[in-house]
Structure formats: structure tokens, C-alpha cells
Amino acid sequence: MKLARQQLADVVSWPSFSGGNSLEAEQIRIEATEAILSGKKSPSSALEAASEKIRRLTARFR
């Protein structure tokens, strides 16, 4: 329990996406992060592409 309390300072909120495509949106976010960390894409291009894909997925739920 002590370790769990110590780790609370590092906890971040889980991203949440509207509608029934939340798992797909989360996968897009994960793939963008992987592309950035592996150097396959620049942060700006990976995040812009991910944002657009997620926007299209969640558009009907706004």
C-alpha cells in the first residue's frame, strides 16, 4: 500500500473520447505516440494526423 501511495504523485488522467469509438481513438493516440518515440514521424505531424482521425471518429457525438 505504501508503494501505491507513493505513485499517486505520478498519476495522470486517462484520456476519454466521446461515443462508441473510444477504443479506436485510444489506439490512434497510442500509434501516434509510438511513431513519435521511434522517430518515424515528427511530433507535430503525428499529432496533427492523430487529431484529425480522432475528430472524424467523434464528430457525430459532439
Instruction: Give the integer Cα–Cα distance in Å for 21 and 39.
Output: 27
Domain assignment of residue 33, given as a range:
20-62
Residue 5 lies in a domain: no
pLDDT tens digits along 20-52: 888 899 999 999 999 999 999 999 999 999 999
- Per-residue pLDDT for 3 more than 90? no
Instruction: Give the integer Cα–Cα distance in Å for 36 and 47.
Output: 9
Exposed / middle / buried, residue 18 (Cβ in 10 Å: 0-12, 13-18, 19+): middle
**Furthest C-alpha separation in the chain:** 44
pLDDT at 13: 81
Residue 12 lies in a domain: no
Q: Say if pTM beats, i.e. exceeds, 0.85.
A: no
Residue 34 lies in a domain: yes
**Confidence band, pLDDT 50/70/90 cuts, at residue 62:** low
Instruction: Give the integer Cα–Cα distance in Å for 5 and 28.
Output: 31
Number of independent structural domains in the chain? 1
Please indicate whether residue 50 or residue 9 has the higher confidence score (pLDDT).
50
Closest-CA residue to 58 (of 19, 24, 26): 19
